[in-house]
Structure 1
Amino acid sequence: MLASLLQGIAICSATWFLWKYFRQVFVKSPLDNIPGPAAESFIYGNLRQLLDKNGWGFLQSLESYDGVVKLHGPLGHRMLFVFDPTAMHNIIVKDQYIYEEAAFFIKSNLLNFGPSLLGTLGEHHRKQRKLLNPVFSIAHMRRMIPIFNDVCLKLQKALESRIDENDMVEMDMLSWMGRTALELVGQAGLGYSFDPLVTDKPDEYASAIKLFQPMQAEVSLLRRLVPYVSDLGPPAFRRWLLDMFPHKGVQQLKSIVDVMHERSLEIFQLKKQALEQGDEAVAHQVGEGKDIMSILLKANVEASQEDKLPEEEILAQMSTFILAGMDTTSTALSITLTILSQHPEVQKKLRNEILEASKGEPLEYDALVSLPYLDAVCRETLRLYAPVAQVFRETREDVVMPLSHPIRGVDGKTIHEIFVPKDTVVAVGLLASNRNKAIWGEDAEEWKPERWLSPLPGSVTESKIPGIYSNLMTFLGGGRACIGFKFSQLEMKVVLCLLLSKFTFAQSDKKVNWVMSGVRFPTVGNSPKPSMPLKVGLYKGAVPA
């Protein structure tokens, strides 16, 4: 009797497993009529191509389709790649709670950072944003300008001390941009100084963060297993499993996360202690209490009981702020300096605009945001070279996805909307949207800052792209839009103003490859280490320090 019972349980379990993970192999799906590339293999489908660190060619091939592409997921699952504006609006705005963040993304961020904005869903996520949104207001951003200028003046001195007066010197500008972005988010975001920008060796924390994306790229496929193992047993057991996992990339990523957590905990305890001691203690910290974390901690103390965040969640936000604030901004700045080195005439024109407004001195907020060519250069760089190429969503229930215009199905019939079954993975093509020729024109793949100096064409404004910034998907949109996008824009502009008023930039002779990861990053040759060499020289017309 017992043997029969166990046999029945085994058969039911096996049947459930096969149905849950392999039913798409045998059941026809409405997605089968959507055009798309053939699978690379049954095991991986197209997923390995989509996550390949050198997969820019495959990503670009998807842009030749008409806004929606059927991809093959692992083990016969169907996926969608979407950059149609109406479909994206439904995914990230109208039906955002049906198209939730993918389970692997939420679970891996919970493991890496704890319950931060990147690791929560639904009402939990909305509660966190409610408390955090005011912290990133324009009023608070204005107060950041003196901190930003002070840090960037230190960067000026650091670079100047390493440059020959009559010659250009090759420098790893990614390293310097990473250190600067960390110090900016450290002082303005956390009221903490990580790096005085004096020595040639970056802070251990800065080095750890800059290696986070390369390690994420190394374990990109393994991250898909996280939802299946992250709930196994108590935390101590999961940590033991992680310690025992025989994969170099996993172990390196674990060490990086440990360094980040320990430093965040140290900073949190200092901030909390100062807040408990009163305004005078807060005023003596870096940032004098005007930093984002001090404001957040104070707001949390004053919040109603239902709106308060537990300390665990405040701590989790810190690592998230630091990583997101440093990694994406340092990448965007490195890309911008690289593009300016390739277009010396644009570099000269931008420098002239900056010097005319600043006379070589730091600019205040209103003057900074009113420089049209600087704004155009930043927008065009963030359009064509968005640091994040795509994000993943999963449907929590069956849903109908409308399209901005009909597409032709595999069977030759016209499709006006797509029925998307529950549990479908949807990749939202941020970069594909930003350079969609149907929206931006035939020159969409060209870097042209001038396109922002006159009204955008009707094809852009009428498409109603749901991004939070400049008809672009770079900072996403909806309830999971980048909460710090104004902070990031301000950082970029301050750094560029103070660098271009003092230095000139030219291309290095070394070959640079851009690696596709959660956030893209540059490497030299076949080296896996992030690096962006540029030749840096003193601008002859610069005002002496």
Structure 2
Amino acid sequence: MLLQLSLSLVAALLAVSVKSIYKLVLYVVHPFFSPLKNLRSPPSHGFFTGNLKEVLRTNPSLMHEQWVEAYGPVFKYKVEMGADRLFVLDVRAVTHIINYSNDYQKPEFTRLAISRLFGEGILMAEGEVHKKQRRVMSPAFGIPHLREQTSIFLGKAIQLRDMWTKQVRQSEGLRATIEVVSSLNKVTLDIIGLAGFGYDFESLNGDDKPNELNEALRAVFGGRNSLGTIDLLHNILPFTRVIPTKRSAAIRNARNVMDRIGYDLVKNMKADVHASKGGPGNDQIGRKDFKNKDILSLLVRANMASDLPKNSRLSDEELLAQIPTLIIAGHETTSASLTLILNMLATHPEVQNKLREELLLCDQGEHPSMDVLNNLSYLDAVIRETLRLHTPVTSTVRVATKDDIIPTDCEWEDRNGVRRKGIPVSAGDSIFVPLYALNRSKAIWGKDAHEPERWSSVPEAASSLPGIWKNSFTFWGGQRACIGYRFSLVETKAIMYTLIRSFRFEMAIDPENMELRSPGIVRPYIKGKKEEGAQLPLAVTAV
């Protein structure tokens, strides 16, 4: 019996090893047979990491813009193990990739990286599974639901305002230096707790009080644990995952915390539903038995309601997998957006003053409705242009699932100097879409593309962009567009409405000593202090 068990274990390990070696060989050999071999490229800085480290260690747009200037809108660069990745800065090409999302899916290494942190939820799902999960979750992000949740956004924004007001009043000269990144992380975490799960994580209750979930997420997204060579290899060489890194340990801890919290939230909600029906023995639970409108209630309804069609039901695994996605995607990008907007306003006081004038003229006091917030035109413009200039998620990667020719608007030059139109790709080719660079492209947005206040009209070249929001790629587009973009925008408007009416923001240190970096999500850092994580110290004065 023991011998048989040992032989089975050896056979299993051998099968995994053979599969890993086979995939590695395909990965290394593929570039020699791909049409991408004919593209120009910047010099690689090593076989194991290619150009990845220089991309990760620079300003999110600087390297991309330099490459486009040197190599044109279509070229390739090197990634792990000498593999090629197509870089494309062409609106027609990106539109093709968006419109044919089943032919251009997230690559396996991206899905693996996502699953390690987010679980196998909607961000990782493809095809019919993705469509089902999106159909189940969409009502929670609809306009009627957001109207109801606006009071949650404003309530937490007021709590943050009161916390900062206390700090200002306790400081000399009624002017306090506040590091705003940490507070914005906490307020958006509390909001997704209430709006997403009907539960207050209370991370804002005492700004200096540690919060287990917030601390776990900051270890992953705060910029302290940067992506190293071993972390990159984890994605393509499964056997390297036995080698621990600080980042992998942080990801594992964050997942453990989120899984535990998610399991408890779901268990308690199911228990409440059963109790309302007389106990767990009653399986006749219908859609009408769910009164709450938070996102988790809709997910649990899709898991428990017996009167839902089969194609609208979620398994226990699918239900639990959405919770890490909602926790992370529901607050990380929004907190980054808020940080970038405050950074822009602090360095452009004329814009900040004009915005404050509009907000103070609003006659709705502390609690404007969602429709009132959306009708504040200058607030909308400030958010629109800041998120165009500084897209929190800087890029996306896709893999071609079949041979294709991606159409292009522009001509491009191959490594032999031949001018071409259309990009031939083969199944398995990796494609990089630089959202940050696309949103700042002077070819699309005009010569003043990098200026913050240019929102009187959309240039003709940008009017046909296929993004889901405001002629930009900030929230992607098509069937894979961000499902919660309206949620994020209303939340951002509610918080900015509250803060700008109450405070004047100025840079607390020389702006030259600040830089934007993107270890996954764009945030500001103090130069030379990246190991301390993302920071934005602002001088805050009460209005």
2:152 is the counterpart of 1:154: no
Q: Distance in 1 between matches of 2:458 and 2:103?
A: 32
Matches within 5 A, 1:124-143: 124-143=129-148
Q: Distance in 1 between matches of 2:56 and 2:104?
A: 20
| Equivalent residue number for residue 507 of structure 2 | 507
Paired residue for 2:73, among 67, 76, 81? 67
> CA 1:87/1:385 → structure 2, altered by over 3 Å: closer, same or farther?
same
Please tell me the residue identity of whatever aligns with 2:523: F
C-alpha displacement of 1:124? 1.5
> CA 1:84/1:265 → structure 2, altered by over 3 Å: closer, same or farther?
same
C-alpha displacement of 1:500? 1.0
C-alpha displacement of 1:59? 2.5
Q: Distance in 2 between matches of 1:221 and 1:400?
A: 33
| Equivalent residue number for residue 246 of structure 1 | 244
C-alpha displacement of 1:14? 12
Matches within 5 A, 1:2-151: 20-24=26-30, 27=32, 29-52=34-57, 56-64=61-69, 65-93=71-99, 95-151=100-156
SS at match of 1:162: helix
Paired residue for 1:406, among 411, 414, 423? 411
TM-score by length of 1: 0.86
Matches within 5 A, 1:279-318: 289-300=292-303, 301=305, 302-318=307-323
C-alpha displacement of 1:515? 2.4
2:205 is the counterpart of 1:198: yes
Identical aligned residues as a percent:
32
Please tell me the residue identity of whatever aligns with 1:494: A
Matches within 5 A, 1:87-486: 87-93=93-99, 95-164=100-169, 166-195=173-202, 197-200=204-207, 201-214=209-222, 218-219=226-227, 221-226=229-234, 228=236, 245-278=243-276, 289-300=292-303, 301=305, 302-358=307-363, 360-448=365-453, 451-452=454-455, 454-461=456-463, 464-486=464-486
8 A contact 2:190–2:201 mirrored in 1: yes
C-alpha displacement of 1:150? 1.5
**More divergent stretch after superposition (261-270 vs 212-221):** 212-221
Q: Distance in 2 between matches of 1:144 and 1:212?
A: 28
| Equivalent residue number for residue 5 of structure 1 | none
**More divergent stretch after superposition (249-258 vs 386-395):** 249-258
> CA 1:358/1:274 → structure 2, altered by over 3 Å: closer, same or farther?
farther
Please tell me the residue identity of whatever aligns with 2:139: P
**More divergent stretch after superposition (258-267 vs 12-21):** 12-21
Q: Distance in 1 between matches of 2:420 and 2:135?
A: 39
8 A contact 1:209–1:260 mirrored in 2: no
Q: Distance in 2 between matches of 1:17 and 1:458?
A: 45
> CA 1:299/1:309 → structure 2, altered by over 3 Å: closer, same or farther?
closer
SS at match of 1:537: strand
Q: Distance in 2 between matches of 1:156 and 1:214?
A: 23
C-alpha displacement of 1:328? 0.4
Gaps of at least 5 residues in structure 1 are 1-8, 233-240, 282-286, 540-545
C-alpha displacement of 1:309? 0.8
| Equivalent residue number for residue 519 of structure 1 | 521
| Equivalent residue number for residue 495 of structure 2 | 495
8 A contact 2:507–2:539 mirrored in 1: yes
C-alpha displacement of 1:254? 1.5
> CA 1:305/1:419 → structure 2, altered by over 3 Å: closer, same or farther?
same
Q: Distance in 2 between matches of 1:156 and 1:51?
A: 34
C-alpha displacement of 1:196? 6.2
Q: Distance in 1 between matches of 2:335 and 2:39?
A: 38
Please tell me the residue identity of whatever aligns with 2:178: M
C-alpha displacement of 1:87? 0.7
Please tell me the residue identity of whatever aligns with 1:483: I
Cα RMSD after superposing both structures: 2.8
Q: Distance in 1 between matches of 2:336 and 2:186?
A: 12
**More divergent stretch after superposition (107-116 vs 122-131):** 107-116
> CA 1:292/1:189 → structure 2, altered by over 3 Å: closer, same or farther?
same
Q: Distance in 1 between matches of 2:246 and 2:439?
A: 35
C-alpha displacement of 1:503? 1.1
Q: Distance in 2 between matches of 1:18 and 1:67?
A: 30
Q: Distance in 1 between matches of 2:24 and 2:300?
A: 48
8 A contact 1:104–1:223 mirrored in 2: no
SS at match of 1:334: helix
Q: Distance in 1 between matches of 2:425 and 2:310?
A: 39
C-alpha displacement of 1:390? 0.7
Gaps of at least 5 residues in structure 2 are 1-14, 280-289
C-alpha displacement of 1:224? 4.2
Q: Distance in 1 between matches of 2:302 and 2:139?
A: 9
**More divergent stretch after superposition (199-208 vs 16-25):** 16-25
